[in-house]
Structure 1
Amino acid sequence: MTDLSAALAAFMARISGPGELAGLMRLSGGANMESWAFDWAGSKDSGAYVLRRAPSADYMADRPFGHADEAALVMAAHGAGVMAPEVVGVLGASDGMGTGYVMRRIVAEVSPAKILAAPPPTLLADLGRELARIHALPRAAIPAAIPLMDTATALAELKARFLSYGGDRPAIALAIRWCEDHLPVPAEPVLVHGDYRMGNIMVDANGLAAVLDWELAHRGDGHEDLAFGCMTVWRFGALDRPAFGVGSVEDYFAAYEAAGGGKVDPARFRFWLVYRTLWWALGCLQMGQAWRSGADTTVERVVVGRRTAEQELDLILLLEAEAPDAERGRALPPSRPSRPDPTGEPTNREMVQAVRDWLEGDIKPTAEGHGKFQVVVAMNALGIVMRDLDAAVRAEDGALAEALLSGATTLAEPGLLAKLRRAVLDKCAVDSPKYAALARARNLWGEQKN
């Protein structure tokens, strides 16, 4: 941190004149892209700021555009009246801090749990209005490096990634085939934020205060943005409020259209809801691949890699409507039995439990900031291992996945939907037992225990 403090102070002095840096602190989360809060007291431009950076160019190697273009896009959006942060400076190679940019800090709430506990009355309308503004950004204002997404090509790339990861997850194969069969005709491209969801917005008492994290921006179908914030995972447990966990999709669409957004097509919206759920399922698998390859060896990568189970559960909930009525009403097959209670020497599970208890009792209470976040992630990882050792549940079924991907097998096959339901329930119970949609699925599908 000392080296970063000196380099950041030199950068701020260069862009705003002499001054003093204080309170440098890494914000929670962000295993790859770092965010650092700090204060600057100078001859001008004193105030609170945030540095967003990647420590080296290697972190940006697989991205379609770099931080300079990202900063240019954020500045263009801010200049057009979008509630984007105000960028005050972009890092250069000579600054010695990797790549990134500095923004004025916005004082507002970003925690989804705190926002959704008591959302401001105008928030859903604000979200619809702001998205309409983003989609209205003129093409000439968008940096040339921001790519144009071709949906068919992007879906083919997802399929290729799935096959490279083993191609053996039936729920994912089912979703890929469904998307191939329901691919919409190309839409008139607009600027798509690409990550417009709870967790990437800031809220104060007056409503929406800022839209953050523009690194996935591209030009494409505006329905993609509309759907992303309505995914189950980004509602953070508020399952009765489909739009961002805040309200109804009907009110959200109405606000978007009233602010100048295009007419919402429900079928196109459904396609993107399935597509982005599939995209995130593969994104989670990719996290595990990044750890396995050595590209990112943080514990957070492997934990997020196991969140694929959440998206597989959501994909079955989204796609089960395609099955015949008789299959949707079929009872669940029994779950696999758990392993017997141990009686001899400490088992692997008990040893993992001991380490987890030590982290919780001795390490977590004294950890602070990002270190505390990492301890919690490590505890989550050990919890997954403990449950996995108990249940020995696996999600892979290469033959079934291949049959679903090719269309040789569909949800019309007797017993298939019930089998898929059981598989995603059991896997999610191991990997994400607190995932809100798990309890809902158990209730919908008639599971009486666990």
Structure 2
Amino acid sequence: MEIAELKPALESHLTGIWKSPVQIQDIVHLSGGACQDNFAIRLSVDSSPGNTEKNIVLRTDKGGSLLSSLSKKDEYKVAGLAYAAGVKTPEPIYLEENANIIGAPFFLMEKISGKATGRYIIKDAELNEYRKTRMVTDLSENLARLHSVILESVKDAELKQKLKVTTRETYVQTSIDDLRKSLDELPESHPAIEISLNWLDKNKPDVDAIVLVHGDYRTGNFMITKEGLQGILDYEFAHWGDRHEDVAWLCMRDWRFGKLNKEVGGFGDRADFYNAYSDYNKIPILATKVRYWEIMGNLRWAIGSAQQAERHLSGKDKGIELAAIGRRTAEMEWEAMRLIEEAENAV
């Protein structure tokens, strides 16, 4: 839906929901990647004793889902779990499941300040002091807070199932099996991924606990200003899993944006992040497990980028961004095999 159509549709709908006249002053289309659409909205609600101004973000889908992305309903609920657990994240405000309002389900959340772009977070001079002092600690502590959400603490039975209930004993094998299934669905073969999956199958680590995993915890999915972390974003790939998954995903080479010597997101060092996480929740992060899940993460992203290219090539969702992302598949294949070689040489 175009912004010119979005404004009256939202004004009418929210007026009915909030039982007070809603007037939208401004709507700005924000970057949302290949799968999402985000809009910054400034509005006022005319209610007694006076007008209340709100700055919010509307989040919705714009194309087919990638891998196991959550519905807007479930993503909204996960954001609520994170917010309740003390994670610094935008407050969820309203969920709309009816696709007829704007053409797709959507939810509203608090608008926060800051930037999420890789160039800003790892290179901008105004963040130099924050990068040196608190960035690693803030991000590790907030990840630990998210990981404090466990199966037993969630009362919503439907959501628990949508996040794929699993066990410590079966989780790693299930993750490998899911990747094999996704790989088999691609129209072309990927021998490097097959070889790497075989290695993962033979070297499975144990899982210390099943926790709520963000699933896409990386540079680009948290908002930062020179004052510090403003909020963690994008829970569309959240699921039950191993805490080392999120740490490994943040450390992947693809999310360092060229700053390869800073292995944590392009801004930090592994030991500092591991130690800050462990200092906060008294649970150690094991480097060997991080490397295992980093290999898994590279395969997941390699398959995901191939899936996005296929959306373009099949004609389902034509777009230069989707086509360009597909080019990255070989990079992740190479990185996964490099990490396997590193693991073998360490034995």
TM bracket (short chain): 0.7 to 0.9
Q: How does 1:309-320 map to 2 (within 5 A)?
A: 309-320=330-341
How many residues matched? 323
Structure-2 change in CA distance of 1:158 and 1:61 (3 Å): closer
- How far 1:169 sits from its partner (Å)? 3.1
Q: How does 1:248-397 map to 2 (within 5 A)?
A: 248-260=269-281, 262-321=283-342
> Partner amino acid for 1:83?
K
Q: How does 1:193-204 map to 2 (within 5 A)?
A: 193-204=214-225
**Which residue of structure 1 aligns with residue 25 of structure 2?**
22
What SS is found at the alignment partner of 2:251?
Answer: coil
Larger mean Cα displacement after TM superposition, 43-52 or 196-205: 43-52
Q: How does 1:2-151 map to 2 (within 5 A)?
A: 2-16=4-18, 17-43=20-46, 44-54=51-61, 59=64, 63=68, 65-93=70-98, 95-117=101-123, 118=125, 119=127, 120=130, 121-139=133-151, 140-141=153-154, 143-144=159-160, 145-148=162-165, 150-151=171-172
Unaligned runs of 5+ in 2: none
User: Given that residues 203 and 210 in structure 1 are in contact (C-alpha distance below 8 angstroms), is that contact kept between their aligned partners in structure 2?
Assistant: yes
Inter-partner Cα distance in structure 2 for 1:80 and 1:152: 29
What SS is found at the alignment partner of 1:303?
Answer: helix
Instruction: Give a deviation string over 1:23-49, Cα, whole Å, max 9, x none.
Output: 212112423321111211222541211
Inter-partner Cα distance in structure 1 for 2:106 and 2:197: 35
User: Given that residues 7 and 97 in structure 1 are in contact (C-alpha distance below 8 angstroms), is that contact kept between their aligned partners in structure 2?
Assistant: no
Structure-2 change in CA distance of 1:15 and 1:80 (3 Å): farther
TM-score of the pair, normalised by structure 1: 0.67
- How far 1:76 sits from its partner (Å)? 2.2
Inter-partner Cα distance in structure 2 for 1:313 and 1:61: 22
- How far 1:309 sits from its partner (Å)? 2.2
Inter-partner Cα distance in structure 1 for 2:309 and 2:282: 37
Q: How does 1:159-170 map to 2 (within 5 A)?
A: 159-165=180-186, 168-170=189-191
User: Given that residues 15 and 89 in structure 1 are in contact (C-alpha distance below 8 angstroms), is that contact kept between their aligned partners in structure 2?
Assistant: no
What SS is found at the alignment partner of 2:316?
Answer: coil
Inter-partner Cα distance in structure 1 for 2:322 and 2:172: 27
Inter-partner Cα distance in structure 1 for 2:269 and 2:136: 9
- How far 1:4 sits from its partner (Å)? 1.4
User: Given that residues 187 and 220 in structure 1 are in contact (C-alpha distance below 8 angstroms), is that contact kept between their aligned partners in structure 2?
Assistant: no
- How far 1:171 sits from its partner (Å)? 2.8
Structure-2 change in CA distance of 1:322 and 1:259 (3 Å): closer
User: Given that residues 91 and 97 in structure 1 are in contact (C-alpha distance below 8 angstroms), is that contact kept between their aligned partners in structure 2?
Assistant: no
Coordinate RMSD, CA, aligned: 2.3
User: Given that residues 41 and 47 in structure 1 are in contact (C-alpha distance below 8 angstroms), is that contact kept between their aligned partners in structure 2?
Assistant: yes
User: Given that residues 216 and 234 in structure 2 are in contact (C-alpha distance below 8 angstroms), is that contact kept between their aligned partners in structure 1?
Assistant: yes
**Which residue of structure 2 aligns with residue 335 of structure 1?**
none
What SS is found at the alignment partner of 2:231?
Answer: strand
- How far 1:63 sits from its partner (Å)? 4.5
- How far 1:315 sits from its partner (Å)? 2.1
- How far 1:182 sits from its partner (Å)? 1.1
Instruction: Give a deviation string over 1:324-350, Cα, whole Å, max 9, x none.
Output: 79xxxxxxxxxxxxxxxxxxxxxxxxx
Larger Rg: 1
Q: Percent identity?
A: 29
- How far 1:166 sits from its partner (Å)? 5.4
**Which residue of structure 2 aligns with residue 426 of structure 1?**
none
TM-score of the pair, normalised by structure 2: 0.86
Structure-2 change in CA distance of 1:322 and 1:81 (3 Å): closer
- How far 1:188 sits from its partner (Å)? 1.6
Inter-partner Cα distance in structure 2 for 1:217 and 1:27: 22
What SS is found at the alignment partner of 1:95?
Answer: coil
**Which residue of structure 1 aligns with residue 206 of structure 2?**
185
Inter-partner Cα distance in structure 2 for 1:256 and 1:322: 23
- How far 1:251 sits from its partner (Å)? 0.5
Inter-partner Cα distance in structure 2 for 1:175 and 1:73: 31
User: Given that residues 64 and 146 in structure 1 are in contact (C-alpha distance below 8 angstroms), is that contact kept between their aligned partners in structure 2?
Assistant: no
Inter-partner Cα distance in structure 1 for 2:73 and 2:218: 23
Bigger strand share? 2
Inter-partner Cα distance in structure 2 for 1:251 and 1:61: 32
> Partner amino acid for 1:30?
G
- How far 1:61 sits from its partner (Å)? 10
> Partner amino acid for 1:3?
E
- How far 1:170 sits from its partner (Å)? 3.6
What SS is found at the alignment partner of 1:209?
Answer: strand
What SS is found at the alignment partner of 1:262?
Answer: coil
Instruction: Give a deviation string over 1:397-443, Cα, whole Å, max 9, x none.
Output: xxxxxxxxxxxxxxxxxxxxxxxxxxxxxxxxxxxxxxxxxxxxxxx
What SS is found at the alignment partner of 2:261?
Answer: coil
Structure-2 change in CA distance of 1:261 and 1:193 (3 Å): farther
